[in-house]
Amino acid sequence: MVAGALSSPYGAFCESPDPYAAARQRMVLHQLNARDIKDTKVLRVMGKVKRHLFVSPSLASQAYSDHPLPIGEGQTISQPYIVALMTQVLDIKPEEKVLEIGTGSGYQAAVLSHFTDQVWSIEIRKELAQNASRRLKAFGYEKIRVKHGDGYFGWPEYAPFDAIMVTAAANHVSPLLLGQLKMGGRLLIPLGSTTYYQTLTKITKTPKGNEVEHLLGVVFVPMVGEILDE
Ligand code: SAH
């Protein structure tokens, strides 16, 4: 019964054969669990979300490989390990509100939506935003709200957020995003040179100020926009 199956991300496409089910399980085992992804819910969700549906059909056979993939307009969907790690680090609880900057394919937003119903995501490239929005709806992820805009400014109408995940590299943290974070909230961002590499950085807002943790070296496509391009 296809209509019913499509209405939920958990049931999406469950009736059609999944040619990549085994590849996805191998990814979970060898790329995630074998490294430092130990959160069982993160492992379960990464084993469930069909990453091959978020890339062009010509790249579907590479969707579970240990590297990023092009998604058009010079942008990339992150390596599965990085998606899992960022999700694990943010440690989203069911009642929490999450904002993602850089919707891209919509894959990371789909992963986040298995942790909470309250996911917002902003994409600066119009076509990517439209495609991601359409794709997410088609796969049953109707609750994720995607907007075309500059994520540097956040999404004030729905702030404050418990967690903000920036999936594009920036040389500084937008003060506007920090302002839209709840007390105790976490912001994760690849911070550093946007032409070379960055440090995945976690900032926690506390009454005593921002706590900063440097996690690991990463390479992301640059965050662009009105402020960052100047
Ligand atoms: N999270 C995505 C991959 C992100 S790639 C996924 O799961 O597929 C980084 C994305 O950030 C690109 O799509 C790029 O267009 C977008 N981006 C860059 N600068 C931005 C900005 N200022 N606001 C919103 N999105 C931005």
Count of the separate structural domains present in the chain: 1
Residues annotated as catalytic (active site), given as ranges: 78
Total count of residues recorded for the chain: 230
Q: Which residues of 184-194 are buried (b: 16+ CB within 10 A; e: fewer)?
A: ebbbbbbbbeb
pLDDT, tens digit, 9 for 90 and up, residues 97-152:
999 999 999 999 999 999 999 999 999 999 999 999 999 999 999 999 999 999 99
Q: Is residue 5 very low, low, confident or very high in pLDDT (cuts 50, 70, 90)?
A: very low
Residue ranges making up the domain that contains 119: 64-218
- Taking alpha carbons only, the member of 182, 176, 142 closest to residue 160 is 182
87 belongs to a structural domain = yes
pLDDT of residue 6: 44
Residues with Cβ within 8 Å of 41's Cβ and at least 6 positions away in sequence, in order, are 114, 115
Q: Is residue 195 very low, low, confident or very high in pLDDT (cuts 50, 70, 90)?
A: confident
pLDDT of residue 212: 98
By alpha-carbon position, which residue is closest to atom 14 of ligand 1? 102
128 belongs to a structural domain = yes
> What's the CATH code of the domain at 161?
3.40.50.150
Using an 8 Å Cβ cutoff, are 127 and 157 in contact?
no
- What spacing in Å lies between the alpha carbon of 123 and ligand 1's midpoint? 6
28 belongs to a structural domain = no
By alpha-carbon position, which residue is closest to atom 16 of ligand 1? 102
132 belongs to a structural domain = yes
Phi first, then psi, for residue 85 (nearest 5°) are -65, -45
What pTM, to 2 d.p., does this model score? 0.93
Q: Is residue 42 very low, low, confident or very high in pLDDT (cuts 50, 70, 90)?
A: very high
